[in-house]
Amino acid sequence: MNQMTNDKLDISVVVPLYNEDESLPELFSWIKRVMQSHGFSYEVIFVSDGSTDRSWEVIEELKAANPDTVHGIKFRRNYGKSPALHCGFGAAKGDVVITMDADLQDSPDEIPELYRMITQEGYDLVSGFKMNRRKGDPLSKTIPTKLFNATARQVSGIHNLHDFNCGLKAYRSEVVKNIEVYGEMHRYIPYLAKNAGFTRIGEKKVHHQARKFGKSKFMGLNRFVNGYLDLLSLWFLDSFGLKPMHVFGFVGTLMFLIGLLAVMMVGGTKLYCLAKGISHPLVTNSPYFYIALTMMILGTQLFVAGFLGELISRNAPERNSYQIEKTI
């Protein structure tokens, strides 16, 4: 098995893919042409995310013909785009890391300008903005996309990005080595980078081409629902991930105290009536007693959840553990 070179390179291109065997030869030829015309030292890392077609065989063929520039990682099964990027980032040797999709919709001709923006303009991360993408897309896709990006801008505080989900991005090497991409968090890499202290985030308008082979793997309402759930998760983890007791403990204590005061008021009212000889129903006949008791129980549970969250956050196992069948 050939090992990746330890020499520092100008650019690493990371290409996560799932069943894109038809487009890979043309994509690599295009990347190679651009790199050679600009004199870049480079590598292309293809990450096959459990592909069931001939994608891995094509990658092996490209490796045989280009042993110094083509590398591949093959997952035993499909994990998703974020795990593929995580492993690709770990293997990257370039000063600048470029990510792009394998379906030929991202243009390698954008690479030189993305590289310049990182190395000369001082950006930590540059995200593509596919200006012409929505002209041919139906409203059922464009409206949710606009709402999603608007929400992501507000929650993340990165107001200059218009397309968080664009696969064509450029990163300073330090960025990808200091963030953890897991689950479905690839949509929010700019947010992850910002939280890690890499705040120089820019955007570049890029050309978007129609798909030449196959069909999109990222269609349906499920994608947008998961996107919002991931955004909420990331916001919570950013705000309370290392201090879960601050939210669970506070809310639990507040609920317990309100419930306790309510029980005391119900019980106090009963004692007052008994002292005055006033007829009063049993405490257990009052709905307020059960509401207060429920609040005390929930408050206690939330408080305990905060303790458990603290223990888990300090002893969490490695999340990014995947079955890799081959590396070339």
Assign residue 147 the CATH number of its domain.
3.90.550.10
- Residue 2's pLDDT is 38
Whether 23 and 147 map to the same domain: the answer is yes
Whether 295 and 148 map to the same domain: the answer is no
Whether 233 and 272 map to the same domain: the answer is no
Range of the domain at 274: 244-313
Render pLDDT for 184-205 as a digit per residue (tens, 0 to 9).
788 889 989 998 899 999 999 9
What distance in Å separates the CA atoms of residue 267 and residue 63, rounded to the nearest whole number? 78
Average pLDDT over residues 63-69: 96
Please state, in angstroms and as integers, the Cα–Cα distance from residue 166 to each residue in 47, 119, 239, following that order: 18, 21, 25
Whether 170 and 46 map to the same domain: the answer is yes
Dihedral angle, C-alpha 294, 295, 301, 306, nearest 10 °: 170
Main-chain phi, psi angles of 48, to 5 degrees: -85, 110
Does 250 fall in a domain? Answer: yes
* Domain stops at, among 193, 208, 240: 240
Whether 69 and 201 map to the same domain: the answer is yes
Q: Is 159 exposed, middle or buried (0-12, 13-18, 19+ CB in 10 A)?
A: exposed
* Domain stops at, among 240, 256, 271: 240
- Residue 198's pLDDT is 95
Whether 276 and 236 map to the same domain: the answer is no
Does 324 fall in a domain? Answer: no
Whether 23 and 94 map to the same domain: the answer is yes
The closest alpha carbon to 16, from 27, 29, 2, belongs to 27
Main-chain phi, psi angles of 140, to 5 degrees: -65, -15
Name the residue with tokens 């030929």.
104
Does 325 fall in a domain? Answer: no
Does 322 fall in a domain? Answer: no
Whether 119 and 165 map to the same domain: the answer is yes
Q: How many structural domains comprise the chain? A: 2
Q: What percent of the chain has pLDDT over 90?
A: 43
* 8 A C-beta contact, residue 107 and residue 207: yes
Does 210 fall in a domain? Answer: yes
Average pLDDT over residues 21-37: 96
Higher pLDDT, 201 or 209: 201
Does 200 fall in a domain? Answer: yes
Whether 231 and 121 map to the same domain: the answer is yes
Whether 259 and 224 map to the same domain: the answer is no
- Residue 120's pLDDT is 96
Does the reported pTM lie above 0.85?
no
Render pLDDT for 283-311 as a digit per residue (tens, 0 to 9).
777 788 888 888 889 888 888 887 776 66
Average pLDDT over residues 201-224: 69
* Domain stops at, among 225, 240, 255: 240
Does 319 fall in a domain? Answer: no
Render pLDDT for 135-165 as a digit per residue (tens, 0 to 9).
555 555 666 677 778 888 888 889 889 888 8
Does 150 fall in a domain? Answer: yes
Whether 217 and 143 map to the same domain: the answer is yes
- Residue 3's pLDDT is 40
The closest alpha carbon to 142, from 153, 131, 152, 128, belongs to 131
Whether 235 and 278 map to the same domain: the answer is no
